[in-house]
Structure 1
Amino acid sequence: MQSLDERCLRYLAEAVGCGSVRAAADKLNVNASAVSRQIVQMEGQLATPLIERHRRGVRATPAGSLLLDYYRRQASDREDILAKLTELKGLRRGHIDVVLGEGFVGDLMSGLLQGFWARHPDLTMTLDLAATNDVVRRVVEDEAHLGLVYNPPPEPRLRTHLAMPHPIRLLVRADHPLAAHPGPVRLADLAGHRLGTMHPAYGIRQIIAAAERAEGVRLDPVLITGSIGVLKQFVASGIGVTLLPAFCAAQEISAGSLVALPLADPGLDGVEAQIVTRLGRQLSPAAGTLLQHLARGMAGEARSGTRRSSSSR
């Protein structure tokens, strides 16, 4: 079998990732003709097309997708080997890429990362916020070492390291009429109340849509957003109500400004927050250490929250 030129693979990856040969050339700081030439050369060597050109740019053929998977695995394996060599120096260097849903930010910044950096002050990190589907994509494509995601869709290439139950609740301001609602709230009870929800790309909204179908109701939100922060402000200002896991507003609930009410639909209870990696990926020592730290810390917080909920009933 012919050898695969790494530069050709990189040009192919950038062309598909950027969506066009010209955008890839700009990113690589080379001529567009050089990118096209390298891809054509590899197509000739392998006797199969690797990209399809369409009106909006290029996309990978099935053969191109196979090569891109190979290239990403090679890149992540090389990174992991170099990181393991760094491990011999006592985790004095290393970088970790994490992609997560916005709802996890409060948990991370409330002490988990503080404790991690106290033990490993020289490690660096990128934290990117993304919708559920994009968290999954970036993890399986090795753009991130770890993903923190709420209710991910079934994906055989994901490995779940920790799954914590986090049911969806109705969040209202403490003085809202629904705050005194007796018993679990049905989705039908939200009629007449101004509702804010996440975009459909988010796992939270997908779960709510399934509950709507199960109850035979249709919610008509007045606000649709990709920001949990916007939804919390929407509720805190008294404009309306929202549906979120309680951990997304833990500080506001603890302070008494917001109230989290249980919902009647059982489908809104059996959902989980997960820490995930790509199945089969060997994490770098830095990423593996962060994974263990987050799993221990978030599992401990979940147990503490369960005890507090039990003692308050």
Structure 2
Amino acid sequence: MSATKRPLINAHRVDLTSLRILLAVAQTGSITQGAEQCHLALGAASTRMKELEQRLGVELLERHARGVRLTEAGQLVLDRARAIERELGRLQVELEDHQQGVTGHIRVIANVSSIATVLPNDLTAFLQSHPGIRIDLSEYTSREIQRMLADGQADIGVLAGPVTREDLESAAYYKDRLVIMLPRDAVPAHQKKMNIDQLLTQDLILSQEGGSISEWLADLARLKGQLLHVRVRAKGFDALSQLVAAGLGVTVLPEIVAKRFAKLLDLRILGLEGIQDQRLIAVSRRLGGSAQPAAQDLFAHLAGRLQG
């Protein structure tokens, strides 16, 4: 006997108001409070939730004495509803900008290294020659950037490490050099470098999982059959540097960033010995992605940096 097929969802019957109510209910854990947040009567909000479940053919909420919680299907719908809300917010901003003479938006996502070093000046130079363009810049890990570009969530990405997805194209953007930053008295004053084997024995202060430097060190440790001694993970180069200054361990940073914080916090910088310490930062986009000329111009502008 063949399995009963679920009827296809009619997307035209899923309205934005019901999705907004679902967002409010998920946030408050209560249909009553969700209705208040949306300025609706409880009965109207409850009816809309039941109708949404009927239209989608799944149960979205588990109702209990203390309120409601999302089912697995409800969480899937919630994630999509949040994405729709974000896109509508972007649309509103873009329409307002259009009325004020802005001719295009480019969504750029970049790793923290590029944002903390060369990318701001390069974007400034681009905007000076494209005054009608607005750029939305957000920070993500290099791993996240590849996925988001492939999903069409951004026009251009700046990331470290190889671009492994076949649905993305990339070009060299710039090169940076990685160095070790540590407390001033952690090693003898005459020492200028530290080899990778010695580094892997240190208490490390690293960025969040998925960061390119963290993954690079993890790959090196794996090749050598060792484990990383990660004492603290933190977000942001300033937090990493403050933790080093507190004596909790050592970290690895791009040289430009390390010099900035070493001067500010009186820390030492050592070169990496016995390993390639330069890495390539790439600019990437989805194959067949944004057709707007401004996004194509920005990609060419960043990709031409090494040649310029």
Question: Does 2:283 correspond to 1:275?
Answer: yes
TM-score (norm 1): 0.61
Query: 2:236 aligned with 1:224, yes or no?
Result: no
Correspondent of 2:73 among 49, 55, 61: 61
Give the number of the structure with larger relative contact order, counting CA–CA contacts within 8 Å between residues 6 or more apart.
1
Equivalent residue number for residue 202 of structure 1: 211
How many angstroms apart in 1 are the aligned matches of 2:146 and 2:46? 30
Indicate if the aligned counterparts of 2:205 and 2:230 stay in contact, CA closer than 8 A: yes
In structure 2, what residue type is equivalent to 1:275?
V
Q: Which runs of 5+ in 1 are unaligned?
A: 305-313
* Contact 1:161-1:276 at 8 Å conserved across structures: yes
Query: Shift of the alpha carbon at 1:101?
Result: 2.4
Alignment pair present for 1:116 and 2:126: yes
- 1:215 aligns with 224
RMSD of aligned residue pairs (Cα, Å): 5.3
Does residue 43 (structure 1) correspond to residue 53 (structure 2)? The answer is: yes
Cα distance in structure 2, aligned partners of 1:195 and 1:180: 19
CA drift of 1:208 comes to 1.7
Query: Cα deviation per residue 1:234-265 (whole Å; 9 max; x = unaligned)?
Result: 56898753223446558679xxx975634545
Match for residue 102 of structure 1 among 112, 117, 124: 112
Relative to structure 1, is the Cα distance of residues 234 and 45 closer, same or farther in structure 2, using a 3 angstrom cutoff? closer
Equivalent pairs counted in the alignment come to 287
What residue ranges of structure 2 are gaps of 5+ in the alignment?
1-7
Alignment match, 1:292 = 297
Amino acid at match of 1:40: K
- Higher mean Cα deviation, 125-134 or 172-181? 172-181
Q: How far did 1:227 drift?
A: 0.9
Question: In 2 relative to 1, CA 276–35 (structure 1 residues): closer, same or farther, beyond 3 Å?
Answer: farther
Equivalences for 1:170-185 in 2 at 5 Å?
A: 170-172=179-181, 177=188, 180=191, 185=195
Find the aligned partners of 1:132 and 1:16 in 2 and give their Cα distance. Answer: 33
Compare 99-108 and 125-134 and name the one that shifted more.
125-134
Change (3 A) 1:164 1:119: closer
The one-letter amino acid of 2:70's match is V
The 3-state SS of whatever aligns with 1:61 is helix
Give 1:42 shift: 3.6
Task: Read off the aligned partner of 2:110 and give its amino acid letter.
Answer: L
**Matching residue within 148, 159, 169 for 1:149:** 159
Q: What SS class does the counterpart of residue 282 from structure 1 fall into?
A: coil
Residues of 1 paired with 2:209 and 2:118: CA distance?
24
**Is the contact between residue 169 and residue 262 of structure 1 (CA under 8 Å) also seen in structure 2?**
yes
The percentage of counterpart residues that share the same residue type is: 17
Cα 1:235–1:9 change in 2 (3 A) is: same
Give 1:116 deviation, angstroms: 2.1
Q: Per-residue CA shift, 1:44-73, capped at 9, x if unaligned? A: 234x216465999436539956x949x85x
Aligned partner of residue 195 in structure 2, secondary structure: coil
> Structure 1 221/17 Cα, relative in aligned 2: closer, same or farther at 3 Å?
same
Distance change in 2, residues 1:5/1:219 (3 Å): closer
Distance in 1 between residues matched to 2:122 and 2:112, nearest whole Å: 15
SS at the partner of 2:294? Answer: helix
Query: Which of 83, 105, 130 lines up with 2:140 in the alignment?
Result: 130
Residue 174 of structure 1: CA displacement? Answer: 11
- Cα drift, residue 226 of structure 1: 0.9
**Partner AA of 1:107 in structure 2:** V
For residues 169 and 6 of structure 1, do their structure 2 counterparts lie closer, same or farther at Cα, with a shift above 3 Å needed?
A: same
Conserved 8 A contact 2:25-2:35: no
The alpha carbon displacement at 1:162 in A equals: 3.2
